[in-house]
Amino acid sequence: MSVLLDNQFRELPPDKSVDTKIFLDNVSHIPAFFDCLGSKVFSIIKSDINGNITKIRAVYLKDPAKYVTLQDILEAEREAHQAEWPKVGATLALMWLKRGLHFIQILLQSLADGERDENNPNLIRVNITKAYEQALKRYHGWIVQKIFNAALLAAPYRSNFLKALSKGEEVKEEECLANVRQFLVNYTPTVDAIYQMYTNLNAELDYTV
Ligand code: 0SG
């Protein structure tokens, strides 16, 4: 089975609200995936994403009945923190987490669409660079961009990445890409819904780190 299909996101309800518990269960599987990628540079990213998830979960666990959806959390923090909001609490953690999720979405979509460097067909640098430029680069100053450059050099070969997605099993490329496409069916609308929520609540910030 595939890592992705084991952790398939749920179809969103008609109002596009994202259930906090289900979302946290889904994203909690992402950090472990970095252990399959080989290089220590990925531990920086793993720990950043882990930190985001821990922060959102801590808020949720304070009152699960109050924070049923992610929007419940943002609205409660807006009320509680006033001028400090949105650069605070789970609102800030989810703002960054969604950028990482968007990166993963673009990377997987690019692989599923068959985009590749014809001169180096077993590299995924073109796919990673596309995802980085669209999802993250504008939020990064030059030091973090250097971390990205190091991650790019340490990126796994396409065949190894697809194998890692297939939990180490030798799976035909087409089968693995079919799993990626299936995963994206609910994943993409979930990421889109979180972005839309940030736009609707005027919670998006565009400073660089
Ligand atoms: C095949 C694999 C290829 C991987 C290529 C990876 C490319 C991405 C490389 C980027 C390297 C990022 C390293 C970390 C950068 C962090 O500084 C930033 C900003 O972090 C936020 O800063 C924190 O996340 C916030 O934490 S919070 O929970 O407490 O709120 C907060 O600290 C904030 C600062 O807030 S402030 O002080 O200003 O108020 N993080 C990112 O840019 C997110 C990076 C996500 C990368 C996702 C890559 C996924 C790869 C998946 C492969 C399948």
pLDDT one-digit tens code per residue, 147-189: 999 999 999 999 999 988 888 788 899 999 999 999 999 999 9
Query: What atom of ligand 1 comes closest to residue 89's alpha carbon?
Result: 30
How confident is the model at residue 34, as a pLDDT? Answer: 83
Domains plus CATH for the chain? 3-200 (1.10.3520.10)
Q: Assign residue 89 a region: left if phi > 0, alpha if psi is -120 to 50, beta otherwise? A: left
Q: Which residues pair with 69 in a beta bridge?
A: 19
How confident is the model at residue 29, as a pLDDT? Answer: 92
How confident is the model over 12-29, as pLDDT tens digits?
999 999 999 999 999 999
Q: Is the CB of 132 under 6 A from ligand 1?
A: yes
pLDDT at 1 exceeding the cut of 70: no
Q: What is the mean pLDDT of the chain?
A: 95
Nearest residue (by CA) to ligand 1, atom 38, is 209
**121: buried, middle or exposed (CB in 10 Å: 19+, 13-18, 0-12)?**
exposed
pTM more than 0.80: yes
| Lowest-pLDDT choice from 69-83, 116-130, 152-166, 179-193 | 152-166
How far, in Å, is the centroid of ligand 1 from the Cα of 45?
6
pLDDT (average), residues 54-83: 98
Query: What atom of ligand 1 comes closest to residue 48's alpha carbon?
Result: 24
